[in-house]
C-alpha cells in the first residue's frame, strides 16, 4: 500500500465553465429552433453591427465627458457636431472587417458561423458635417439643405467666421435692438452650432443659437431654422438672461446653457461639466473675435 499512489486528475474550472457555456448555447439554439435564411442572416449581421456601433459611441462619449479640457480651435463648435462625428466613426469601424468583436460574437451565437468580413469602405469620414444655408433671405427655410463647396480652408475658427459673414446684417440688427455686443452673439453662435443653420441637437435644440421649441415659442420664433428669426430670438433670450443676472455675462451664459433655474439654485454657474465648458468656450471665442 505504501507504494500505491492514487492519481486523480483535478478538474479544470475554466474547462468546466466553458463546457457549461457551450451547453447553454446549444440548448438555447435548440429550444429556439433557429433556422435562419440568408436574408435573416443579413438582417442579423446589420443589427449586430449596429449594436456594436452604439456601444462604441457610448464609450467614446464617456471618454469625452471624463476629460477636463477637450476642446481646441480645430474641434467642433457644439456637442451635436461632435456626436455626429462619433456616430460616423463608430459606424465605419463596426462596418469594416469584423468590427471590434462584439458584432462577431452576437452573430456567431445565433448562427454558429463567423460573421462575414467586410472590405474597408472607401468613404471619408467628415470632420465637420456641413449643412450650410447660403442665403440671407428672411423667408422660412424648408427642410431642403443647400450645401456650399466654396468654404475656405484654415482653422475651425476661420471657417466659422466665414459662415457668420453672411449673417452680419442680422447680427448687427440684433445687437442694436437688444443692446448686445456683436462679438457676444457671434461667440454664442459659434459655441452652439459653429455657424450651422440646420444644426439640431439630440435634445431638440435647433438652428444657429440652438433654441428649444418651448423657448422659441415664448420668444415668438416660428421657424428656428430661419437665420433671422433664430438670431433675433436667441439675442432676445440672451438679453433677458443678462437683465436677470445683473449683466453678469458668465451667469447669463450659464443660464442660456443650463436654464436660469439652475443658476439660481446653485447661486452661480451650476457645477455641470457641460455648462462650465460652455462658459469657458464662449469666453475664449469672445477673445478670438
Comparison of pLDDT for 88 and 47, the residue scoring more: 47
- On whether residue 234 sits in a domain, the answer given is yes
What grid cell was written down for 276?
Answer: 462650465
- On whether residue 3 sits in a domain, the answer given is no
Q: How confident is the model at residue 83 (pLDDT cuts 50, 70, 90)?
A: low
Please indicate whether residue 192 is annotated as part of the active site: yes
| 99 and 18 share one domain | yes
- On whether residue 7 sits in a domain, the answer given is no
- On whether residue 2 sits in a domain, the answer given is no
Residue pLDDT, tens place only, 153-164:
568 888 888 999
| 278 and 166 share one domain | yes
- On whether residue 119 sits in a domain, the answer given is no
| 163 and 64 share one domain | no
| 239 and 171 share one domain | yes
pLDDT greater than 80 at residue 131: no
- On whether residue 133 sits in a domain, the answer given is no
Strand partners, 118: 97
C-alpha span between 208 and 184 (Å, rounded): 14
| 235 and 175 share one domain | yes
pLDDT greater than 70 at residue 190: yes
Comparison of pLDDT for 233 and 30, the residue scoring more: 233
pLDDT greater than 90 at residue 181: yes
CATH number at residue 187: 1.10.530.10
| 181 and 260 share one domain | yes
Q: Check residue 115 and give left, alpha or beta (phi > 0: left; psi -120 to 50: alpha).
A: beta
Q: How confident is the model at residue 170 (pLDDT cuts 50, 70, 90)?
A: very high
| 160 and 257 share one domain | yes
Average pLDDT over residues 47-66: 76
How many other CB atoms are found less than 10 A from the CB of residue 203? 9
Average pLDDT over residues 76-83: 50
- On whether residue 248 sits in a domain, the answer given is yes
- On whether residue 283 sits in a domain, the answer given is yes
C-alpha span between 28 and 112 (Å, rounded): 12
Nearest to 126 by CA among 98, 95, 179, 84: 84
Q: Check residue 246 and give left, alpha or beta (phi > 0: left; psi -120 to 50: alpha).
A: left
Domain interval for residue 206: 156-288
| 176 and 284 share one domain | yes
Average pLDDT, the chain: 76
At CB < 8 A and 24+ separation, what contacts does 129-132 make?
Answer: 129/81, 129/84, 129/85, 129/88, 129/196, 130/196, 131/196, 131/197, 131/198, 131/199, 132/163, 132/195, 132/196, 132/197, 132/198
Q: Which of 45, 52, 104, 192 is catalytic?
A: 192
Average pLDDT over residues 248-254: 97
pLDDT greater than 90 at residue 8: no
Number of structural domains in the chain: 2
Nearest to 129 by CA among 78, 164, 165: 78
What grid cell was written down for 119?
Answer: 472590405
User: Model pTM?
Assistant: 0.53
Cβ–Cβ < 8 Å for 279, 257: yes
| 63 and 160 share one domain | no
pLDDT greater than 50 at residue 5: no
| 202 and 279 share one domain | yes
pLDDT for 269: 96
Amino acid at each position: 500500500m505504501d507504494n500505491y499512489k492514487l492519481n486523480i486528475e483535478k478538474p479544470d474550472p475554466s474547462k468546466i465553465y466553458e463546457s457549461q457555456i457551450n451547453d447553454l448555447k446549444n440548448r438555447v439554439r435548440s429550444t429556439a429552433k433557429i433556422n435562419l435564411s440568408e436574408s435573416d442572416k443579413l438582417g442579423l449581421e446589420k443589427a449586430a453591427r449596429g449594436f456594436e456601433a452604439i456601444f462604441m459611441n457610448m464609450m467614446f462619449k464617456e471618454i469625452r465627458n471624463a476629460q477636463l479640457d477637450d476642446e481646441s480651435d480645430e474641434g467642433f463648435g457644439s456637442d451635436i457636431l461632435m456626436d455626429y462625428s462619433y456616430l460616423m466613426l463608430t459606424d465605419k469601424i463596426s462596418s469594416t472587417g469584423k468590427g471590434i468583436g462584439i458584432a462577431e460574437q452576437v452573430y456567431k451565437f445565433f448562427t454558429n458561423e463567423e460573421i462575414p468580413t467586410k472590405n474597408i469602405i472607401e468613404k471619408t469620414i467628415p470632420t465637420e458635417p456641413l449643412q450650410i444655408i447660403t442665403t440671407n433671405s428672411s423667408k422660412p427655410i424648408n427642410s431642403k439643405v443647400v450645401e456650399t463647396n466654396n468654404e475656405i480652408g484654415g482653422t475651425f475658427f476661420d471657417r466659422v467666421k466665414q459662415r457668420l459673414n453672411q449673417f452680419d446684417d442680422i447680427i448687427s440688427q440684433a445687437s442694436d435692438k437688444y443692446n448686445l455686443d456683436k462679438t457676444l452673439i457671434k461667440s454664442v453662435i459659434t459655441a452652439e452650432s459653429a455657424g450651422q443653420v440646420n444644426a439640431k441637437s439630440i435634445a431638440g435644440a435647433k438652428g444657429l443659437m440652438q433654441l428649444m421649441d418651448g423657448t422659441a415659442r415664448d420668444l415668438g420664433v416660428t421657424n428656428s431654422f430661419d437665420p433671422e428669426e433664430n438670431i433675433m430670438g436667441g439675442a432676445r433670450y440672451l438679453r433677458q438672461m443678462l437683465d436677470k443676472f445683473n449683466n453678469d455675462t458668465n451667469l447669463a451664459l450659464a443660464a442660456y446653457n443650463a436654464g436660469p433655474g439652475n443658476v439660481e439654485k446653485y447661486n452661480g454657474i451650476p457645477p455641470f461639466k457641460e455648462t462650465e465648458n460652455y462658459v469657458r468656450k464662449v469666453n475664449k471665442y469672445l477673445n478670438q473675435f
